Amino acid sequence: MKKITRFYKKITLNLKPKINVDKITKNFHSLDEIFNYFGTDKGTNVKNQYDKNSDLVIGHGFAKFYEKHLSNFKNQNFNLLEIGTWLGASSAAFTIYFPQASIYGLDRNFKFNYKSKRIKFINCDLTIEKEFKNLQKFIDNKKFKIIIDDGSHILSHIIKNLKFFLKKVESGCYYIIEDFNAPKDQLHLNDGNNEEIFIDDMLIKIKNKEYFKSKILGQKDQDYLFDNIEVIYTYEGKLKKPLSSNIAFIKKK
């Protein structure tokens, strides 16, 4: 039954009219303006895209950190992957900000609202073994200059994503984790059963090359992190507790 529902949802997604990002001619002056235009909460001034009935204006204010680290890539031809697209607002924004890049957006949902010659939406639930295997095949021969984890924000998912996707990042480029303290700040996102370290503590351990307790990351995996990460930058965004607003830029050697 689940399979049939997913099949129909996929067809509906393919048929639904989408906003063509390639036809947007507006001149933007900053990444924050682009984020706000499309309504991703990476911006500073957006309506809550997860609750249509809310008039609350929110935003993490992550654009300044993205611009600080990624403006050098602006006119380069490269692949960007974002895990977790929701409606596709951030995929659309990155398509405008990086006019030569191919943007891959991955989500288990079927809500993607945008299209472009440079956007590829990947429908995949990373927790479903078969779907994850298909994804592995699909990206096997691809490398990415930028991979962003803005997915479930569940502790074990963040760690598993880092384990798998960091290997797909090109040398000198970035793996980014949004809201990395969400599992610490929001109980329901902490599925670590005291067997997994929180991400902020993990990032410090990686910086210091100190082994840490984890069922997901064995000693070899941790060695990979120690040997392949050049530097980690962390920042706090604008939203305050109980919401989470932090972002990590992990630069590969």
Ligand X SMILES: C[S@@+](CC[C@H](N)C(=O)[O-])C[C@H]1O[C@@H](n2cnc3c(N)ncnc32)[C@H](O)[C@@H]1O
Please state, in angstroms and as integers, the Cα–Cα distance from residue 143 to each residue in 28, 85, 199, 252, following that order: 28, 19, 24, 13
Helix, strand, or coil here: 181?
coil
Residue type, 155: L
- Asked if 108 touches ligand X (CB under 6 A), the answer is yes
Among 76, 127, 134, 171, which residue interacts with ligand X (rule: CB under 6 A)?
127
Residue nearest to ligand X (CB): 84
* 245 lies in the binding site for ligand X (CB under 6 A): no
The dihedral over CA atoms of 105, 108, 157, 229, expressed in degrees to the nearest 10, equals -10
Task: Provide the minimum distance between the beta carbon of 245 and ligand X in the complex, in angstroms, as a whole number.
Answer: 12
- Closer by beta carbon to ligand X, 89 or else 202: 89
Nearer to ligand X, 85 or 222 (CB): 85
Cα distance between residue 122 and residue 112, in whole Å: 10
Interface with ligand X: number of residues (CB under 6 A): 19
Element of type H or E holding 208: helix 199-208
Q: Does 81 bind ligand X (CB under 6 A)?
A: no
Nearer to ligand X, 61 or 206 (CB): 61
Q: Closest approach of Cβ 44 to ligand X, in Å?
A: 13
Position among 61, 84, 183, 237 found at the interface with ligand X (CB under 6 A): 84
Least distance in angstroms from the C-beta of 242 to ligand X: 16
b/e burial code for range 204-216 (CB count within 10 A of at least 16 → b): ebbeeeeeeebeb
58 vs 229, beta carbon nearer ligand X: 58
When binding is defined by CB under 6 A, the residue of 86, 94, 112, 121 that contacts ligand X is: 86
Footprint of ligand X on residues 148-207 (CB under 6 A)? 150-152
**Is the Cβ–Cβ distance between 64 and 87 less than 8 Å?**
no
Nearest by Cα to 162 from 131, 196, 195: 196
Burial of 47 by CB count in 10 Å (0-12 exposed, 13-18 middle, 19+ buried)?
Answer: middle
Which of the residues 32 through 71 are near ligand X (CB under 6 A)? 40-42
Binding region for ligand X (CB under 6 A): 40-42, 82, 84-86, 89-90, 107-109, 124-127, 150-152
